[in-house]
Amino acid sequence: MAIYWAGDIQGCNTSLGRLLEEVNFSPSRDQLIVLGDLVNRGPDSAGVLRRLMALQGSVQCVLGNHDLHALAVAFGFSRTKRLDTLDDLMIAPDRDVLINWLRQQQLALWSHGVLSVHAGVLPDWTLAQTLLLADELQSVLRGPDLPYFLANMYGNEPNTWCEELTGIARWRMVANALTRLRFCSAKGAMEFATKDSSAKAPEGFMPWFDVPGRRTSDITIAFGHWSTLGWQDRNDIWALDTGCVWGGCLSAMRQGENGQRQRIQVACEQAQIPH
């Protein structure tokens, strides 16, 4: 048995298939955890969702910002953007099945000693708090408050966590941290304008995982979202988004029964396109 954590797929279904073939993935033996941004920007978002659904209990996914955006488009609360490639999903004959499956996925997952999220974890959050807040928002996505959340999801405020936050401000804060975070201040204020590498942090900010005193520094966090960061394999973080949709590779981390880690990468068929 092997466990695989895969970075952002973003509609690159051919690359996903190639990755599964490369590792001889067996649904009866292995487990796959996908770190969000399953859809959008690549050519076959519907195909990615169908392939993952077919794996049934051998795959678990966390949602990314592109996945939440796809839900907003599907439910009529957002229009597609200039670089979006969601049309194949939106006109698919099985669209309702695919969208319903997508909204059932998680926002944070603790499994095999690793916390999986799409983007990051605020430095003041513990593991237990992260999972509780993710579960709170997952209940919103799966329940009757979904339309209200999607209609008010977009925005950068509030940018600093406060336990007293309620309603949409609380939900947006949690969603932004788990699906959009790259840089934050030493006090946990989030910054969303900068998408460059960690070496180009804006003044007063740093990568979320390098904030001194981060309360999850004693566990391993696997995440995607940050293609300009590149592959990172540290004891406390695995960064697995290597820009498949931008002409890079689709990357995965393999953890065997003995706990040893291995990097697996397959080339992506996508041509280089601007972010």
Give the per-residue pLDDT at 11: 97
We report the CATH number of the domain holding residue 199 as 3.60.21.10
Give the per-residue pLDDT at 270: 63
DSSP-derived secondary structure letter, 40:
S
- Per residue in 98-156, pLDDT (tens digit) is 999 999 999 999 999 999 999 999 999 999 999 999 999 999 999 999 999 999 999 99
Query: What is the DSSP pairing of strand 237-239 with strand 220-223?
Result: parallel
Strand partners, 190: 184
- Per residue in 213-236, pLDDT (tens digit) is 999 999 999 999 999 999 999 999
Residue 108 lies in a domain: yes
- Per residue in 4-63, pLDDT (tens digit) is 999 999 999 999 999 999 999 999 999 999 999 999 999 999 999 999 999 999 999 999
Residue 274 lies in a domain: no
Residue 222 lies in a domain: yes
Residue 144 lies in a domain: yes
Give the per-residue pLDDT at 274: 41
180 pLDDT exceeds 80? yes
Which residues are within 8 A (CB) of 7 and not within 5 positions of it... i.e. 6 or more apart?
35, 224, 240, 241, 242, 244, 250, 251, 252
Mean pLDDT, residues 227-254 taken together: 95
- 3-state SS, residue 115: strand
Give the per-residue pLDDT at 193: 94
275 pLDDT exceeds 60? no
Contact 210, 184 (CB under 8 A): no
pTM of the model: 0.96
Strand partners, 261: 255
Residue 99 lies in a domain: yes
Query: DSSP for 24-51?
Result: T--TTT-EEEE-S--SSSSS-HHHHHHH
Q: In this structure, what token pair is assigned to residue 67? A: 């996945």
Give the per-residue pLDDT at 259: 78
272 pLDDT exceeds 70? no
Rounded distance between C-alpha atoms, residue 167 and residue 161, angstroms: 13
Residue 209 sits in which domain range?
Answer: 3-267
273 pLDDT exceeds 60? no
First CA to last CA across the chain, in angstroms?
Answer: 37
Q: Structural domain tally of the chain?
A: 1
Share of the chain above pLDDT 70, in %: 98
Give the per-residue pLDDT at 213: 97
Residue 272 lies in a domain: no
